[in-house]
Amino acid sequence: MNAVLETKHIFDAEQAKKDFPIFANNPNITFLDSAASAQKPQQVIDAVNNCYSNAYANIHRGVYKLSQDATAAYEGSREKVAEFIGANSEREIVFTRNATESINLIAQTWGRQNLKAGDAILISEMEHHANIVPWQMLRDELGIDLRIIPITDSGNIDFDVFINLLDEDVKLLSITQMSNALGTCPPVFDMVKMAKEKGVVTLVDGCQAVVHMPVNVTELDCDFYVFSGHKLYGPTGIGVLYGKLEMLEAMPPYQGGGDMIRSVTFEKTTYAPPPAKFEAGTPHIAGAVGLGAAIDYINSLGLEAICNYEKELFDYATKALLAIDGITIYGHDISRDAIISFSVANVHPHDIGTILDQQGVCVRAGHHCAQPVMKRLGVPATTRMSLGLYNTKADIDHLVVAIRKVQEIFG
Query: What secondary structure letter does DSSP report for 364?
Result: E
* Pairing of β 93-96 and β 239-243: antiparallel
362 catalytic per annotation: no
Catalytic residue among 51, 185, 222, 369: 369
**Angle 326-332-333 from CA coordinates, rounded to 5°:** 175
Residue 230 near residue 236, CB atoms below 8 Å: yes
Interatomic CA distance for residues 284 and 268, integer angstroms: 28
CA 260 – CA 275 distance, rounded (Å): 9
* Strand order from edge to edge, sheet including 382-386: 327-330, 339-344, 382-386, 364-366
Minimal CA–CA distance to 175: which of 199, 143, 207? Answer: 207
Q: What element of type H or E holds 341? A: strand 339-344
Q: Taking Cα atoms as reference points, which of 86, 106, 336, 92 lies closest to residue 220? A: 86
Q: Which helix (H) or strand (E) holds 123?
A: strand 120-124
- Please give the biggest Cα pair distance in the chain: 74
Q: Report the Cα–Cα distance between both ends of the chain, in Å, rounded.
A: 37
Q: Mention every residue, 6+ apart, whose C-beta is less than 8 A from residue 312.
A: none
Catalytically active residues are: 369
